[in-house]
Every structure is written in structure tokens, then in C-alpha cells.
Amino acid sequence: MTGREMPNSTAADDIFGAWLTRFGAALADGSVDGIVELFVADGYWRDILTFTWTYQTFAGPAEIAASMNSRLDRVKPRLVRPAADRTAPRIVRRSAKTVVEAYFDFDTEVGRSTGFVRLLLDNDNPCDSKAWILLTALQELRGHEERIGERRPTGIEFSQTFAGDNWLDQRVKQSQYLDRDPEVLVIGAGQSGLILATRLGQMGADTLVLEQKPRIGDGWRDRYHSLTLHNEVWANSMPYMPFPPTWPTFVPKDKLAGWLETYAEAMELNVWTGTEFVGASYDKATRTWLAELRGLDGTARTVRAKHVVLATGGAAGAPHVPTLSGLDTFTGTVMHSSQFTSGTDYAGKRTIVIGTGNSGHDVAQDLHANGAASVTMVQRSPTCVLSLVPSGTMIYALYSEHQAIEDLDLITAAIPYPVLKETYQWITRKTCELDAELLDRLHAIGFETDFEPDETGFYMKYLRRGGGYYINVGCSDLLAKGEIGLVQARDINRFTPDGLLLNNGEQLDCDLVVLATGYENQQELVRRLLGDEVADRVGPIWGFDENYELRNMWRRTNQPGFWVMGGNLLDSRMHSKFLALQIKADLIGVLDGHRSE
């Protein structure tokens, strides 16, 4: 939820300053009791890498005390000070609470961290306000800071060297890897792979990105014709190179595809397009992967790398193709939604779309708009439906405050699961009110909706399972008006050579079946690429684990040297820094607590 700045007789910087002074003194003294006293009884401390070298949340005094007792001496936090170049302290409303939000920096044994705190405002004694939520997040490794700002390269050597290689000569040689192997191998040149490679490059980690398709951006370019992003442009900018202010609020897929190519060139990334990652084996003795690669022309090459990162998508790997009774006898065209590009080829055709998530609705609407003789959707399970505006954009409302995006990302990263759950429940109640008329019309035709058992709505569906929702850009209205048909899967008997036979004996003849049935868990992609042993060791990817962190995403897995990077543009931007820091820390030998091999 977005915040509204609140007036107060005591300035926000005074309230924050009083708390920060006490917090800094407690850290300097190693006083766990002093630290705990600075939190409200139901407060949270969320740490990303600084104290734990992972993502971890501590709830309440006992957990906070136990976590700090075991870590303060090792981490040695010091020099606590208000953050430079961050949003100034301010008093706002968040989750029906009046809080002071502020940022601070501090040093540790390995680098610099930033803290973000929400102080629950004590109206009687403002300068005694205590922390409700605290985030501590590693920002840079000492001696390996991002090469930006004052640390950027001068480039002067290129103006003084006339006989040797110029900048382009060096770039070509760097990207060919004829005289060396990369330190990091990233599989996939979509937004997540490119952003991670950029972060790693700025930290000095030699990174090669592999893209199986012929061009960077083809992962977006090849998708269905009408696709646009469903969240607003200001939430989606990429590190170091934000989208131009002239761009539309909702970015078309081809515009994004072109930007990814531009981004890779501007960020001087080493990307091999038309290159398939065939597989790899891990040498425990040398802690190195030996990877087999294959070009589109069949050329084979092997490279060694300390780290392999799977960056092939958000929550998805290979297309999931379910077994549907009789489908093997159907004589028409069958394709997965990932293969669907445009409905223009199916004008005048009778079509059936299996699945009612975002892709299913978009494919059905595309077919309808391009003159299909009939479009019928098959609903396999209840679906969360909400309007694009205003409901679909509420989840990103924080980013409409237009603070520095790096500051907003820290706020987003700070939210512990219980608060996140409550926030999504509030948003879901609000969106259901706003969309009541639309939902009523859908229910009237037998469309079944679901907003999660705990009423947390579409974004929690995304985090838990990567799908099961639809942000309405018009298809729901076509369903409600009967222009697109609806069949419940339980009412289907089987497919026949000519179409779909229902339990009541009705036959729906069709020429095309599109399976908008989602994707396999990425663990299965790991299995195909790296084998059963590695896949089983890693386990399922995405969805929450027992600690309410996303499983195996952006942090160490049980397989040394193997990482998973993914998510939408916002996820990729926010978490790429933390993943890059972990990989770089391992390369220089300071990553704490290596998992047992």
C-alpha cells in the first residue's frame, strides 16, 4: 500500500535520529538487550546477507536476541550513520499505522550495509518511538564496490593508445573467451539473466550469458502478438539504465525486447546468442562446473565456471502439457500457449483454449479479435480475476510515490511475511469491492473465482505457484457477454477426432486447441540439464519454504555453485544485487557458511 505523509510536531529526522543514536550505541557495545529494547514487542528484524548471508526474518524479542547473540561478534557492525543519498526520514501511514520511515548505513567486516526502519510513532513521546520493521541488507563488498559514479572507469587509455587495441577490439576479445573461462555462467538472456550479469560485471565478476534463441529479447519478441506488461513502467526499470520517461505506462513486449538488446550492448555484457546449454557436471575437488554448449550450427564447446546460474524464467521452466483423454485422437492443431504468436492464422477457425490464467485469457481474446469463428475457454480450476486498473496496479502503488527506485526496493524487501500477508488480504478485499460488478457477471455464467484460501489474492498466487490469476484487459467482458464460450473441465467427457465431447452428449467441433496449462517447476529443467542427483539435491523452485522465503530463489541452494535467478522486472532488479553479492563473495572467499558437499 502506498503511504501518505503525515504532519507531526516532532520532525521525522529528530525521531529517527534519537532511535539511530541508541541503536548505534547498542551495536557498538555489543548489547543485545539494548538492541531488543529498541523494538516493539511484535517487531520484526529482516536481514539480507549482512548478518545471516541469506534471507531471514526474526520475529519478536526472543528471536531477535538469539540471532544477534550468535552474530554480532563475527559481523562487527560499526559506524552507524544516516544514509547518504537516500530518501529523507518521513512520517507516513503504512498498513493502518503511523510510522517514521528512514534509512541508515553501517560498516561490517566485509563491506557496507544499509538499514531501513519503520518506527511505530509514539505520539506521547515521539523520540522514544521503537522499530516495528527493520531491514539490514548488504550493499557492497569492500574492495569490490560497483564501478559507478566516482569509481567509474575514465576511458582515458583509449584516447592515448594509437597502435594497440581500441575499445571495440577489447570488447570483441572479451566476449569470445578464447584465452580464459568465465567465472560465472548465466543460462538465459532475458531480463533476469541480463540484470544479474550487469550487477556481476560492475563487481568485477567475469560473466558469460547464454541465450538459446538467435537474438537477445526473443523470449519476449516471440510471444503472442498482443502481449504487454501488466504492471506500470515505473516499477519495472532496470539497474543503471531506467526506461525513458517517454515510455507508455504499460510496455508492449516488442518494445521491451528491443530494450533488452540495447541494455546488453550498453552494459557491455558478454552474451552468446544461438547457444544452447546442453548440460554440465560439477567437480567437487575444484568446485568447478564443466559445461557443454552447442551453437545453432552444431558447433560444440566446453567451458569451465565456478558458478552456474539458471535464469530461464520466473516460476516456470518447460511447458506443462497435461494428459487429456482423447487428445491424441484429435485431428486438428494442438499447441501450447508458449507456441502461440497470433490469432491471424486462425481467422474463421473454431478454437478451444484450455486454461483460464493470464495466458489463456490473452490467447482467447487474441483469437476472438482476429476473427476466429468461435472461441471456447475450458476452466480447469477457479481463477483469481481482477481489473487491470485500478485493481491490478494497487500491488505496485508504492512505486507510484516516485522516490528513488533503489529506496523503494528496500522498502519492498523489508516486509516480513506476516505483514505481507495482511497487506495482500487488505488489497484483495479492496479489489473485490472495486471489481464486484465484473465478478458478479462472471459468476452468472458459471465462471469460478478464487482468491487463495487465506484471501491474499493474485500476487500471492504468483509467489506461491506462478499462476492461477488473470488481470482483465477485456477477455472477462467477452466471457460475460457470451462472445467467448466457457466450459468447466469437469463437464468434459473426452476429446474426439473432431473436437470436444461433453458429458451431456454435446459435441464442440474445433480446428485448434491451445493448451494454456502453465509450466513445469524449474526443478524439472534442472533435472534435464544437470541430472537427477543435482535436481533432487536442489529441490522444488519458487513457492514459499518453511521459513516463508521463496524456495531456492536468489540465494544458495543445496548444490554448491548453482543458483536460480528469475522473476519479473521488479524482482530481477531488486534481488539481482543480493545474488551478485553472494556469488562475488564466494569468488573472493568471504561468503560465510558454505553448505556441506
Residue 586: alpha-carbon gap to chain centroid = 23
3-state secondary structure 158-210: HHHCCCCCCHHHHHHHHHHCCCCCCCEEEECCCHHHHHHHHHHHHCCCCEEEE
Residue 256 to residue 62: CA distance in whole angstroms: 47
Using alpha carbons only, how large is the chain's radius of gyration in Å?
Answer: 26
Q: Amino acid letter at 198?
A: T
Tens place of pLDDT for every residue, the chain, 597 residues?
455 555 555 799 999 999 999 999 999 999 999 999 999 999 999 999 999 999 999 999 999 999 999 899 999 999 999 998 999 999 999 988 999 999 999 999 999 999 999 999 999 999 999 999 999 999 999 999 999 988 999 888 888 878 788 999 999 999 999 999 999 999 999 999 999 999 999 999 999 999 999 999 999 999 888 889 988 999 999 999 999 999 999 999 999 999 999 999 999 999 999 999 999 999 999 999 999 999 999 999 999 999 999 999 754 457 889 999 999 999 999 999 989 999 999 999 999 999 999 999 999 999 999 999 999 999 999 999 999 999 988 988 999 887 899 999 999 999 999 999 999 999 999 999 999 999 999 999 999 999 999 999 999 999 998 889 999 999 999 999 999 999 999 999 999 999 999 999 999 999 999 999 998 888 999 999 999 999 999 999 999 999 999 999 999 999 999 999 999 999 999 999 999 999 999 999 999 744 333
What is 545-579 written as a DSSP string? -TTSSBTTSSS--SSTTEEE---SHHHHHHHHHHH
Round to whole Å and give the CA distance between 586 and 594.
9
Q: Report domain extents, the chain.
A: 12-141, 176-317+524-587, 327-515
**434: helix, strand or coil:** helix
> Which residues have C-beta within 8 Å of that of residue 181, sequence separation ≥ 6?
303, 304, 305
Taking CA atoms, 329 is separated from 481, 494, 587, 593, in Å, by: 32, 10, 54, 55
Q: Give the whole-angstrom CA distance, residue 556 versus residue 307.
A: 11
Closest CA to 495 of 480, 509, 516, 475: 509
What's the N-to-C CA distance of the chain in angstroms?
43
- CB < 8 Å & 24+ apart, contacts of 538-545: 538/562, 541/315, 542/314, 542/315, 542/463, 542/465, 542/466, 542/566, 543/315, 543/463, 543/464, 543/465, 544/417, 544/463, 544/464
Query: CATH fold of 327-515, please?
Result: FAD/NAD(P)-binding domain (3.50.50)
Cβ-in-10-Å burial (0-12, 13-18, 19+) of 220 comes to buried
Helix, strand, coil shares, percent, the chain, to 5: 35, 25, 40
Beta pairing partners, 488 = 379
Instruction: Residue 309: name the closest of 289, 325, 335 by CA.
Output: 289
The Cβ-side half-sphere exposure at 517, using a 13 Å CA radius, reads: 19
Looking at residue 597, its pLDDT comes to 36
In Å, the largest CA–CA distance within the chain is 82
Return the closest-CA partner of residue 51 out of 111, 132, 126, 123: 111
Contact 2, 399 (CB under 8 A): no
Computed from CA positions of residues 237, 239, 245, 251, in that sequence, does the dihedral angle turn out positive or negative? negative
12-141 and 176-317+524-587: identical CATH topology: no
Q: What is the pLDDT of residue 285?
A: 96
Write down the number of H helices and E strands in the chain. Answer: 19, 25
CB-hemisphere CA count at 13 Å for 13? 6
Among 210, 312, 254, smallest CA distance to 521 is for 312
Closest CA to 58 of 74, 42, 45, 41: 45
Alpha-carbon span 128 to 334, nearest angstrom: 65
User: What values do phi and psi take at 509, rounded to 5?
Assistant: -70, 145
Question: What does the block give as the cell for 52?
Answer: 545471516
> Omega of the bond prior to 7 within 30 degrees of 0, cis?
no
Residue 70: its pLDDT value, please?
86
Rounded to whole angstroms, the Cα distance separating 391 from 388 reads: 6
Rounded to whole angstroms, the Cα distance separating 114 from 249 reads 30
> Which of 358, 354, 362, 364 minimizes the C-alpha distance to 323?
354
| pLDDT for res 6 | 56
- Helix (H, G, I), strand (E, B), or coil: what is residue 17? helix
Assigned C-alpha cell, 149? 559514479
Closest of 180, 144, 179, 283 to residue 587, by C-alpha = 144
CA 196/CA 202 separation, integer angstroms: 10
CATH class of 12-141: alpha beta
- Would you tell me which CATH number, out of the four given (3.30.300.30, 3.30.420.40, 3.40.50.2300, 3.50.50.60), belongs to the domain 176-317+524-587? 3.50.50.60
Rounded distance between C-alpha atoms, residue 196 and residue 209, angstroms? 10
pLDDT score for 163 = 79
